[in-house]
Amino acid sequence: SRSINLAVIPGDGIGQEVVAQGLKVLSAVLPQDVKLETKDFDFGARRYHATGETLTDADLDALKRHDAILLGAIGDPSVPSGVLERGFLLKLRFAFDHHVNLRPSKLLPGVATPLAGQPEIDFVVVREGTEGPYTGNGGTIRKGTEHEVATEVSVNTAFGVERVVRDAFARAQARPRKKLALIHKNNVLTFAGHLWTNVFNRVAGEFPEVTTEYMHVDAATIYLVTQPERFDVIVTDNLFGDIITDLAAAVSGGIGVAASGNINPSGEFPSMFEPVHGSAPDIAGQGKADPSATVLSVALLLRHLGYEPEAARIEDAVSADLAERVGQPARSTEEIGDALAVRVAG
Amino acid sequence: SRSINLAVIPGDGIGQEVVAQGLKVLSAVLPQDVKLETKDFDFGARRYHATGETLTDADLDALKRHDAILLGAIGDPSVPSGVLERGFLLKLRFAFDHHVNLRPSKLLPGVATPLAGQPEIDFVVVREGTEGPYTGNGGTIRKGTEHEVATEVSVNTAFGVERVVRDAFARAQARPRKKLALIHKNNVLTFAGHLWTNVFNRVAGEFPEVTTEYMHVDAATIYLVTQPERFDVIVTDNLFGDIITDLAAAVSGGIGVAASGNINPSGEFPSMFEPVHGSAPDIAGQGKADPSATVLSVALLLRHLGYEPEAARIEDAVSADLAERVGQPARSTEEIGDALAVRVAG
Ligand SMILES: CC(C)[C@H](C(=O)O)[C@@H](O)C(=O)O
Ligand SMILES: CC(C)[C@H](C(=O)O)[C@@H](O)C(=O)O
């Protein structure tokens, strides 16, 4: 009999509320024969204030013993900027080698977009997750003086670029339109740009059916608002991916429905799934948060673990739920979770 | 009597066409007593192919002897990516210490935007122009092998950050709403992020009337499409500024109307003004390019040189021209230039 051994990190702010709904829908969608075991981890601001710890070696050991991780949100204004980001979120991505950061953008029927018209948006961004300007390389001299110099080093390796580019080509190959865009800034960041462009062009030779294009990141932001329908799969660097996926979420229904996966394709470490939105402390504890992004992250999690029909059922349920919202009074986090649980079980 | 000694760089693609209209409007708007002298420079792809040169020391010497520079566009697909960008555009910005890269975004009445509704957009981005990841620092080892490592170093100095932050505060102070947003990614790029944030907070003390906020660059892309009216003045790093100003142009009427100034506030070197759009080789020589962005760049140039009434006349003329376009057949580059010249003279 099958089983899923899931690490759950509710985290800060609305994280608790949305994760509860994600788990509710997960339980409802799983067939009887699948045994779901979950273990909660108390990472985030509370633990940091109580112990000074963000993510210890023992924590990593404990997390490692799971098939996957579901995360709500980490971050609170009471913690200095960067402490939980570098000390928890990025530490985990690097420790578990989550080099494929998968962020689908699909404008579902009936969902509001800030764009005029109702463009057809259905693309996925494959963001590199373990290199670029995110490595923490760099430093500061003469801190706090008028002679301070601070550097940030973007580190890019053929190994790291090639594996994520190959992953993106494979995803493009598997989609009907078979299109892949590389987004970078190779006319200015020429060292990293040449590496990305050369590797991209070389790997393209192995995927003759995939149509490719290259686009500067600045131009890409224009196309994301004027012609979002042109994109199918995008592969990009860690920082550019961070920026364009927030924009992509904004134009395709908002971060209330944006899901993501931090994937280790080899399976050596568990992959982690999380909504793109943060902890939203301003609305925490009020039952106002939309759990859809978390529920869609559960769908990505299930697909990653091989439960394709269940993943599709969740996506269909969220799509139907969103389509029926138009003109209806707002529901609470829990009401939306309940409605989705009923739909996926049905 | 007054005089303007202008260096003109038409450049590549549509650069020639749009600059011709910019100069036409400039001549039309200037009072009789102002003597306008222009000198053309043949920089760009043609010169590079003919001589291998992009921008020599002698060129810089010759350019330096002018009050300002008007540039059309530089770049052509026949030149490898990066050669003209690093060898001309960035070389000039660095050589002439153009540390204030000014990019206003205003959605003019009647102008189409990809955003639903007709949001009130009127803000200006002050992009740092001489530091960050644009310095060319970094390198490559084991190029072309599976062990290649490429780095890009973002260099940030207290000196460089403070002068641009102070410039932005002064601009915010001079505007009715007096709001300034710092955009960075200080939760991940903690070395540069702390420098920017600390300098920003310190300089804020000198401008008690200015309301400030901090925003991560990824979140900023969301607000630029969902709440662009919230912005008044933005100050940001070179790379983030590059990215968000293209997005800002897209939502506020497109790059056909986006002007920019590469400013050396001390006046030690001439400042340069250019449309944000590139050389658009696909429509070059067809009279299809909209010269409005170049004409608006001429307005920024005039304001910089102290011709405020003339700058305002140009802006009003472009605004009126755009408002009258709705439902009219498309006009040629020259027709639009002629119409604007008539308006500013009137
Ligand atoms: C919180 C931060 C570290 C993170 C990132 O920059 O990757 C977030 O913005 C994201 O996109 O997941
Ligand atoms: C062409 C390129 C060097 C330039 C930049 O990145 O600054 C352009 O995109 C711009 O915004 O002026």
Instruction: Give A18-70 pLDDT, tens digit per residue.
Output: 999 999 999 999 999 999 999 999 999 999 999 999 999 999 999 999 999 99
Residue nearest to atom 10 of ligand 1 (CA): A242
CA–CA separation, A331 vs A108, rounded Å? 19
pLDDT tier at A165 (50, 70, 90 boundaries)? very high
Chain A partners within 8 Å of B197 (Cβ)? 81
Most ligand 1 atoms within 8 A of CB, residue of A85, A236, A262 to mutate: A85
Neighbours of A316 (CB within 10 A): 13
pLDDT for A118 equals 87
Query: pTM of the entire structure?
Result: 0.97
pLDDT for A170 equals 98
Pairing state of beta strands B100-106 and B259-263? antiparallel
pLDDT for A60 equals 98
Collapsed DSSP state (helix, strand, coil) of residue B102: strand
Rounded percentage of chain B residues whose pLDDT exceeds 70: 100
Q: How far is the CA of B214 from the centre of ligand 2 (A)?
A: 24
Mean pLDDT of A192-204: 98
CA–CA separation, A255 vs B186, rounded Å? 21
Chain A partners within 8 Å of B187 (Cβ)? 81-82, 85-86
| Alpha-carbon dihedral sign for residues B231, B94, A242, A319 | positive
CA–CA separation, A11 vs B233, rounded Å? 34
For B20-31, the pLDDT digits (tens) are 999 999 999 999
pLDDT tier at A110 (50, 70, 90 boundaries)? confident
Ligand nearest to the CA of A189: 2
Residue nearest to atom 10 of ligand 2 (CA): B242
CA-based diameter of chain A, in Å? 65
Q: How far is the CA of A304 from the centre of ligand 2 (A)?
A: 39
pLDDT for A222 equals 97
For B260-296, the pLDDT digits (tens) are 999 999 999 999 999 999 999 999 999 999 999 999 9
pLDDT tier at B118 (50, 70, 90 boundaries)? confident
For A136-150, the pLDDT digits (tens) are 999 999 999 999 999
For residue B1, which amino acid is it?
A: S
Could you list the residues of B known to form a binding site for Mg(2+), using ranges.
Answer: 218, 242, 246
Residue A339 has pLDDT above 80, yes or no: yes
- What lies within 8 Å, CB to CB, of B342 at 6+ separation is B28
Neighbours of B284 (CB within 10 A): 18
Residue A185 has pLDDT above 80, yes or no: yes
Domain A1-112+253-346 CATH class label:
alpha beta
CB contact under 8 A, B150 and A156: yes
pLDDT for B170 equals 98
| CATH code 3.40.718.10 region(s) in chain A | 1-112+253-346, 128-251
Write down how long chain A is. 346
CB contact under 8 A, B140 and A195: yes
Mean pLDDT of A308-326: 96
CB contact under 8 A, A192 and B152: yes
CA–CA separation, A102 vs A318, rounded Å? 19
pLDDT for A326 equals 85
Q: How far is the CA of A110 from the centre of ligand 2 (A)?
A: 37
Neighbours of B166 (CB within 10 A): 16
Q: Which residues of A44-73 are buried (b: 16+ CB within 10 A; e: fewer)?
A: bbebbeeeeebbeeebeeebeebbbbbbbb
CB contact under 8 A, A221 and B156: no
Collapsed DSSP state (helix, strand, coil) of residue B266: coil
Residue A95 has pLDDT above 90, yes or no: yes
Neighbours of A328 (CB within 10 A): 7
- Burial class (CB within 10 angstroms; exposed 0-12, middle 13-18, buried 19+) of B266: exposed
CATH number of A128-251: 3.40.718.10
Collapsed DSSP state (helix, strand, coil) of residue B69: strand
CB contact under 8 A, B195 and A140: yes
Residue nearest to atom 11 of ligand 1 (CA): A242
CB contact under 8 A, A195 and B148: yes
Pocket of ligand 2 (CB under 6 A): A 187-188, 218; B 85, 89-90, 242
Residue A196 tokens, joined:
């990305």
Domain B1-103+258-346 CATH class label:
alpha beta
Residue B110 has pLDDT above 90, yes or no: no
Atom of ligand 2 nearest to the CA of B241: 11
CA-based diameter of chain B, in Å? 65
State the number of CA atoms in the 13 A half-sphere of A309 facing the CB: 4
Beta carbons of A48 and A54 less than 8 angstroms apart: yes
Q: How far is the CA of A67 from the centre of ligand 1 (A)?
A: 23
Neighbours of B268 (CB within 10 A): 9
Pick from A145, A157, A243: which is nearest to B243 by CB?
A243
Residue nearest to atom 2 of ligand 1 (CA): A85
CA–CA separation, B4 vs B6, rounded Å? 6
| CATH code 3.40.718.10 region(s) in chain B | 1-103+258-346, 113-252
- What lies within 8 Å, CB to CB, of A322 at 6+ separation is A108, A109, A110, A111, A253, A257, A292
For B198-214, the pLDDT digits (tens) are 999 999 999 999 999 99
Residue B324 has pLDDT above 80, yes or no: yes
Pick from B186, B218, B250: which is nearest to A222 by CB?
B250
Residue A1 has pLDDT above 80, yes or no: no
Mean pLDDT of B246-267: 96
Residue B102 has pLDDT above 80, yes or no: yes
The set of catalytic residues of B is: 134, 185, 218, 242, 246
CB contact under 8 A, A221 and B243: yes
Ligand nearest to the CA of B84: 2
Mean pLDDT of B185-207: 98
Residue B1 has pLDDT above 80, yes or no: no
Closest CA to A278 of A240, A249, A316: A249
Rounded percentage of chain A residues whose pLDDT exceeds 90: 97
Closest CA to A199 of A184, A178, A220: A184
Pairing state of beta strands B271-275 and B259-263? antiparallel
Ligand nearest to the CA of B127: 2
CA–CA separation, B95 vs B343, rounded Å? 37
Closest CA to B108 of B332, B315, B334: B315
Whether residue A134 lies in the annotated active site: yes
Residue A22 tokens, joined:
């994600």
Atom of ligand 1 nearest to the CA of A239: 6
CA–CA separation, B27 vs B273, rounded Å? 16
Q: What are phi and psi of B182, to 5 degrees?
A: -95, 125
Could you list the residues of B known to form a binding site for NAD(+), using ranges.
Answer: 278-290
Residue B247 tokens, joined:
């997005």
Rounded percentage of chain B residues whose pLDDT exceeds 90: 97
- What lies within 8 Å, CB to CB, of A339 at 6+ separation is A321, A331
pLDDT tier at B234 (50, 70, 90 boundaries)? very high
Q: What are phi and psi of A113, to 5 degrees?
A: -130, 150
Beta carbons of A200 and A234 less than 8 angstroms apart: no
Beta carbons of B242 and B39 less than 8 angstroms apart: no
CA–CA separation, B64 vs A112, rounded Å? 52
pLDDT tier at B326 (50, 70, 90 boundaries)? confident
Collapsed DSSP state (helix, strand, coil) of residue A304: helix
Mean pLDDT of A166-178: 98
**In this structure, which CATH number among 3.40.640.10, 3.90.1150.10, 3.40.50.2300, 3.40.718.10 belongs to the domain B113-252?**
3.40.718.10
CA–CA separation, A7 vs A39, rounded Å? 5
CA A127 to chain centre: 9
Residue in A76, A106, A185, A321 annotated catalytic:
A185
